[in-house]
């Protein structure tokens, strides 16, 4: 337990150390999340457009 507290306090520099590492962690995780979500969004939209075509939308319509 004391070891964990010592580790987290980083010799009194916890604020600086964890601010730096925390932001790095947050941004890398956020990038992965955004990439996955936008992939899903794109596939859904492409799928919708594909279904629109199969449902006999008049060819003049923008699709």
Q: Shortest gap between Cβ of 43 and another protein (angstroms)?
A: 7
DSSP 43-59: HHHHHHHHHHHHTT--T
Among 55, 58, 59, 60, contact with another protein (rule: CB under 8 A): 55
10 belongs to the binding site for another protein (CB under 8 A)? yes
Q: Shortest gap between Cβ of 1 and another protein (angstroms)?
A: 17
29 belongs to the binding site for another protein (CB under 8 A)? no
The residues, ordered by sequence, that sit 6+ positions from 14 with a Cβ below 8 Å of its Cβ are 8
């Amino acid at each position: 337990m004391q070891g964990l507290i010592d580790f987290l306090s980083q010799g009194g520099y916890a604020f600086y150390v964890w601010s730096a590492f925390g932001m790095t962690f947050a941004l890398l995780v956020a990038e992965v999340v955004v990439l996955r979500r936008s992939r899903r969004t794109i596939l859904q939209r492409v799928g919708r457009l594909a279904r629109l075509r199969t449902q006999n939308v008049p060819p003049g319509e923008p699709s």
